[in-house]
Amino acid sequence: MRVPLPRPQTANEWIEYAYTGAGEVIDRVREAQVLLVNKCRITAEVMDQAPGLKMIQLMATGMDNVDQVAARERGIVVRNVVNYGPDAVAEHAMACVLQLTRRVPEWQGLVNAGQWSKSRFFCMHDFPMRSLKSMTLGVLGNGAIGDHVAQFARAFGMAVIRVERRDATEVRPGYVAFQEALARCDVLSLHCPLNDQTRGLMGAAEFAAMKPGAILVNTARGALVQFDALKASLDSGHLGGAAIDVLEIEPPPADHPMLTWSHPRCIVTPHIAWATLEAQANLASIAMRQVEEFMRGVSQ
């Protein structure tokens, strides 16, 4: 994080590490009573080596890096931070939609290559562009981020549909069935959690069912998308574009298929949709308020 963490007012001994590798976790948590952590894995083994541990405060919304069953069995409170920056993620999603519909990276590439200077005319028409007012956005995931994306999209004049879960036995009022939505959406934005039902959600069959020229945006979890299928759909020209802010392994290995392959209609960013300075400050504030409340409760 690029913003400082506030300190709790309750008396404490504060120890901070800028980075902790997997092999350093146990040694660094042995004496901890309250642990602030983001992506480090906190397993039952780690907890057993920290007998005084009473609280784990995640500096994130996702909780999959902590063994929550083991924590409950040991009486350890686990808290996360929710809704600290839904507008930040939604802004990023819409920025990517605008880049892909107005072809911003491709125009910039032509300019950098000197093509504008060589043109006989004042402007260029190499890439067709679309107005958002003519497009339909599908939002899969009904949390605060999805709500903000829908709000921003409507401000641009887009039609917005709520997409029902793929495995739903019935369609909720106000929602559109998953397969129908794939065929209708010009843009599909993913905001659903990663679980057994959503892992690999978007694969070859789903991309084939999407409207020709449609755009996929994923700012949720990397493993929602099957990347080989995404690449094939973009290479074939069926998909009109994709914006990926998350991968299933982070940081990814240098030979990850989304890093070794480059496509002018695919934007890959390093899990930064959430990371405006305002959202980081809000995350820190909420997390420390929760820690403070816990510490006061324990000390009373």
The answer to whether residue 170 is catalytic is no
What is d(CA 232, CA 80) in angstroms, rounded to the nearest whole number?
Answer: 37
User: Which is catalytic among the residues 28, 166, 271, 292?
Assistant: 271
Please say whether the beta carbons of 76 and 53 come within 8 A: yes
User: Which is catalytic among the residues 103, 184, 191, 221?
Assistant: 221
The answer to whether residue 271 is catalytic is yes
DSSP-assigned beta bridge partners for residue 138: 161, 188
User: Which is catalytic among the residues 24, 73, 250, 278?
Assistant: 250
In angstroms, the Cα distances linking 238 to 44, 229, 231, 242, 251 are: 46, 11, 10, 11, 29
Give the Cβ contact number of residue 299 at 10 Å: 8
The answer to whether residue 172 is catalytic is no
Annotated catalytic sites, by residue? 221, 250, 271
